[in-house]
Structure 1
Amino acid sequence: MVDSNQKRPQTSVVLAMSADGKIADVQRSPARFSSSVDQTHLEKQLAAADAVLFGAGTLRTYGTTMSVSDPQLLQQRLQQNLPSQPLQIVASLSAKIDPQIRFFRQEVSRWLLTTTPGARRWHEGLEFERILVCEAPAANGIDWVSALQQLANLGISRLVVIGGGELVASLIADDLIDEFWLTVCPLILGGADAPTPVEGTGFVSEQLAPRLELLSAEVVNQEVFLHYRRQRVKD
């Protein structure tokens, strides 16, 4: 675990899942099962953020990212002297992303968070405004503690994570998530290989599992909106 008081963005995970805890079906198709109420909820969370972080797998699945379109939310960002759209940050070890997907034609600012080999793929391209290399010193991966510190140093104070499960697991492993907004949708997807909100290797016992504090629970039509805060031991 890392020092929760380190300089880094306030980081929230925002995800919709089935009643059995799946964020997509076994074929990892784009998840379209949440309601318009949940889409409005997601847009509200994005509008309050400086940046949105998601994995390349999520981007490959959807080919695009969600932008803020509600006039009131856009006006709120304008009043706060923020760009109309939050910064979009793609995280990927390999950075193998099709440059022809719609994402690169959206009117948003794009950054890439990757490794040295991944950065080489885009070195001469104009698709990303900034490429951040944050390699873990002893492993083939991203140093998330350093990455979030860099984001804070670049002016990002509010970060929203929208998937996938491997990315969320990596951030949880370094105790870098502060809040979870989870929407439970009324369907069962099943499948041992269907993705869940948190993938990775998991925790070996419930004693080591991160604990959450439930801040609110709201039922709207057939969906349940849960808001959790990460519990941490106070000094």
Structure 2
Amino acid sequence: MADNSQKRPHTTVVLAMSADGKIADIKRSPARFSSSVDQAHLEKQLATADAVLFGAGTLRTYGTTISISHPQLLQQRLEQNLPPQPLQIVASLSADIDPQIRFFRQQVSRWLLTTTPGARHWHEGAEFERILVCEAPAANGIDWVSALQQLADLGISRLAVIGGGELIASLIADDLIDEFWLTICPLILGGVHAPTPVEGTGFPSEQLAPRLELLSAEVIEQEVFLHYRRQRTED
């Protein structure tokens, strides 16, 4: 697996999951099982980012994105000469997204990362301020290495990823994730078809699996907050 850390944003996954590693139930309902402490933790992590990346499936499930609302975090972004809200980037091959969902009425900047067919659904400057087309040359998908290089060229140095599992799997496959913030919540969801933080085809053996370094572990009430760094050969 190549190290694609050059000329791209520092990329951090931020997710909450059940004790058995599920990010939603078998119906893929919106996950509401984390506490107010975890919600504050999520907002804090997103407040440090220039942009937030998520898949269209995640957007369809919730209908909105997460806004920064805590006064201290808003002041922190102001002092860093950042806009009040991070840029919101939706990734989708088809870009088949309902334009009536509340996301398009939120006071945030929106970009779309898609393919040529997906871009035909939208006009740049209307619902999405910018449309980036980054197609993989030999497959029906997004070229993630090129996509993140484009984001870096456009001034994005810190990127937060909040789902879903297929998107995160694609980024891991290209070695484009640097850190993980994972919150373990005290419930069991179960179900072979319930989504997990990393979907995709998986790695054929544990020898080929990406390795992580645990940076911190904190227990707050009934939740465990884990912070990992991607461990690479040069680390």
TM-score range for the pair, normalised by the shorter chain length? over 0.9
**1:70 corresponding residue in structure 2:** 70
**1:179 corresponding residue in structure 2:** 179
Q: CA shift at 1:103, angstroms? A: 0.0
**1:201 corresponding residue in structure 2:** 201
Aligned counterparts, 1:1-235, within 5 A: 1-123=1-123, 126-234=126-234
Q: Measure the CA separation in 1 of the matches of 2:224 and 2:37.
A: 11
Seq. identity, %: 88
SS of 1:192's partner is: coil
SS of 1:217's partner is: strand
- Structure 1 runs (4+) deviating above 6 angstroms are none
SS of 2:229's partner is: strand
Q: CA shift at 1:234, angstroms? A: 1.1
Which stretch has the larger CA shift, 115-124 or 137-146? 115-124
Amino acid across the alignment from 2:156: I
TM-superposition CA deviations, 1:20-70 (whole Å, max 9, x none): 000000000000000000000000001000000000000000000000000
Q: Measure the CA separation in 2 of the matches of 1:76 and 1:212.
A: 29
SS of 2:175's partner is: coil
Q: Measure the CA separation in 2 of the matches of 1:25 and 1:5.
A: 34
Q: Measure the CA separation in 2 of the matches of 1:80 and 1:8.
A: 20
Q: Measure the CA separation in 2 of the matches of 1:4 and 1:105.
A: 35
What's the RMSD between the two structures over aligned residues? 1.0
Q: Measure the CA separation in 2 of the matches of 1:125 and 1:99.
A: 14
Q: Measure the CA separation in 1 of the matches of 2:124 and 2:13.
A: 32
SS of 1:65's partner is: coil
Q: CA shift at 1:4, angstroms? A: 3.2
Q: Measure the CA separation in 1 of the matches of 2:172 and 2:123.
A: 30
Q: CA shift at 1:112, angstroms? A: 0.1
Which sections of structure 1, spanning at least 5 residues, go unmatched? none
Q: Measure the CA separation in 2 of the matches of 1:56 and 1:144.
A: 16
Which stretch has the larger CA shift, 201-210 or 122-131? 122-131
Q: CA shift at 1:5, angstroms? A: 3.6
- In the superposition, the TM-score normalised over structure 1's length comes to 0.98
Amino acid across the alignment from 1:15: L
Q: CA shift at 1:184, angstroms? A: 0.1
Q: CA shift at 1:6, angstroms? A: 1.6
